Structure 1
Amino acid sequence: MSLRLGEEFPNFTLNTTAGKFQLHEWLGNKWGILFSHPADYTPVCTTELSRAAKLAPDFAKRNTKLIGLSCDSIDNHHGWIKDLQAYGGPNIQCTGDTCKLVPHGEFPFPIIDDSERKLAKQLGMIDPAEFDSKGLPLTARAVFFIGPDKKVKASLLYPATTGRNFDEILRLLDSLQLSARLPIATPVDWKVGDKVMVPPNVTDADVQKHFPQGVEIKKDLPSGKGYIRMAQV
């Protein structure tokens, strides 16, 4: 992708299903996840955005806003949203950080009109193997995690052929938010409630400050080095 970890995410002026706004202003002090899909009215994309809509309350609980993007027009997005609501069942309507199931209502997050492909090209989201009926390139399945400081915290890139796992997106968000709050790292297959790792560069003073219950050190490694330190948070 064009953006590197730690770089500021561009403050695009966006034309979306929720109106026109600047990204940074819309995010405010929240986390953001911007994700692209190849095209409206396509099968895999319908399953993905329906799933994202169902999970809107889970993202809201994590102080996180969602925003979608494809190379389709606003009118196309609005028409497709009706299919998303029908496919996904009851819609989820959010007011601030509170979300609830309702038979009808606004879609829980905006979708960007990038029909001129400006954002897709600038952010490196073009799928080289996918084209529309006019021969124009389509967006891949990209995901950008944007922190409250408007910097890129993580990114994922899938081809059009592979739908994303939104449980993994939530898991990654949990890890990013926890490591932003504490001097920790999360091990393989970590999920909320599991023990975390305390990196070797965390000083004893910081260990006592953040992990008063102490850490477990694995000492039976052949190297004899105590670099694997685990803690419960």
Structure 2
Amino acid sequence: MLNAFLPNLELETDQGTFKLHDFIGDSWTILFSHPKDFTPVCTTEFGAVSQLSAEWEKRGTKVIGLSVDGVEEHHQWKKDIESFSGAKADFPIIADESLAVSKALDMLPADAYLPDGSTAADSASVRVVFIFSPDKKLQLTMTYPMSVGRNFAEALRALDALQASYGVLIAMPAN
């Protein structure tokens, strides 16, 4: 829900284990999620995020990915992402094998599980872009079906609009 406070989840990533609030610090953060490593659309989108690293940095924004596969798969997948995109994928990728993060962020039903030999279709609803403000509140959510690729130029446009109005919005008196 917009303006909801982000839970301080413990994250296992390809760059180590840490708390989400510690990762965010006082930055804007984009969390983008994917249903499976090594899928063509997901690899393309992670590559697009990698290619925009200078843009994220200019905006004081951290990015973090999420996939339902494990850390070892993420390490291998990053090689594919970097080969495809020609850009270093230096952001962490959450290993959400238990679906704990996906469920905590309401991407999946509470009773969701992944069967052995799962495919991207089993976790299809895990295709979301979240933008969190430095106060760790949800400012924007974009959810995509599997058949629609994401345009991260749109995420940049939305981030710019949110950042431009952020100080104005928190300065407004509550009713």
TM superposition score normalised by structure 1: 0.66
Structure 2: which 5+ residue stretches go unaligned?
Answer: none
1:160 aligns with 2:146: yes
Gap change, CA 1:38 and 1:131, over 3 Å in 2: farther
Which residue is equivalent to 2:129?
Answer: 143
Q: Does 1:57 align with 2:54?
A: yes
- Output the aligned Cα RMSD: 2.2
- For residues 12-161 of structure 1, the aligned pairs below 5 Å read 12-89=9-86, 91-92=87-88, 107-126=89-108, 133-134=117-118, 137-138=122-123, 139-161=125-147
Q: Could you tell me whether the CA contact under 8 Å between 1:145 and 1:155 is conserved in 2? A: yes
SS at match of 1:137: helix
Percent identity, aligned pairs only, is 43
Q: Which entry has the higher C-alpha Rg, 1 or 2?
A: 1
Where 1:59 maps in the other structure, the secondary structure is helix
Scaled by the length of structure 2, what TM-score is found?
0.87
Q: For residue 126 of structure 1, what is the amino acid of its counterpart?
A: L
Residue of structure 2 equivalent to 1:174: 160
Higher strand share: 1
C-alpha distance in structure 2 between counterparts of 1:29 and 1:160, whole Å: 32
SS at match of 2:98: coil
Q: Deviations over 1:151-205 (max 9, x none)?
A: 111111111221111000000000000011346xxxxxxxxxxxxxxxxx9xxxx
Unaligned stretches of 5+ in structure 1?
93-106, 184-200, 202-233
| In structure 1, distance between residues paired with 2:20 and 2:64 | 10
Query: Which residue identity does 2:91 align to in structure 1?
Result: F
Tell me, in whole angstroms, the C-alpha distance in 2 between the residues paired with 1:80 and 1:133.
18
* Total equivalences in the alignment: 165
Displacement of 1:132: 7.5
After the TM superposition, which of the residue ranges 22-31 and 168-177 deviates more from structure 2? Answer: 22-31
Structure with more contact order per residue of length (Cα contacts < 8 Å, sep ≥ 6): 2
The farther-off stretch of 70-79 and 174-183 is 174-183
1:131 Cα deviation after fit: 7.8
Q: Deviations over 1:77-133 (max 9, x none)?
A: 0001000010011x34xxxxxxxxxxxxxx3200000001111122222399x9883
Q: Within 2, Cα distance between the matches of 1:85 and 1:7? A: 34
CA distance in 2, matches of 1:145, 1:114: 19
| Residues 126 and 137 in structure 1, CA contact (< 8 A), matched pair in contact too | no
| Distance apart, 1:141 and its partner CA | 1.1
